[in-house]
Amino acid sequence: MERTFLMVKPDGVQRALIGEVVRRFEQKGFQLVGAKLMQITREQAEYHYAEHVGKPFYEGLVQFITSGPVFAMVWQGDRVIAISRTMMGKTDTLEAGPGTIRGDFAVHTNRNIIHGSDSPESAEREINNFFSSSELVDYSQVI
C-alpha cells in the first residue's frame, strides 16, 4: 500500500483549513495513518527543504514553515502520491486549477496551504522526518 506525507502549512492552519483538507482526502477514499499538530524545528525544516538550499526563497521558506503550527499527516492508498499531488494543484498558485486545494484557497506560491511528497523516495524520507513508526496505525487487522 502506497503512503505519502502531507502537511497543512502554517497559513492553512491559521485559516482553519485542516478540516477541509482532511475531508477531501477522506472523501477521495484514502486512509489516514498518522496525524499531529506540531511546530517543526529548524533542523526538521532544513532537512525537509534540503533540495531548495541556495534558492532565493529558501530562507523565507524555512522561516515561514517554522513560524507556527503545521498539521502533519501520513495517508495511504492506491497511487496516493500522484493523486494527492493532483488534488493539491500546482505549486505555482497561478497554475493551480479550480477544484484543487491550492486553486480554491491560495493566491501566493509562498503561502500555498499544503505540502505533499512528490515521489516514493520523498515520501519515505519525509514520513521519517516527522513521524516515528509507533505514531502510525495499522488497519490490516480491522474486522
Q: Interface with ligand CMP by CB under 6 A: which residues?
A: 52, 57, 61, 91, 109-110, 112, 115
Nearest to ligand CMP of 28, 52 (CB atom): 52
Shortest distance, CB of residue 5 to ligand CMP, whole angstroms?
10
108 is catalytic: no
Nearest to ligand CMP of 61, 137 (CB atom): 61
Q: Judge whether 84 and 75 are in contact, CB under 8 Å.
A: yes
Helices 80-88, 18-28: crossing angle, 10 deg rounding: 130
Shortest distance, CB of residue 143 to ligand CMP, whole angstroms?
37
- CA distances 69 to 24, 36, 66, 130, 139, Å, are 21, 10, 8, 13, 28
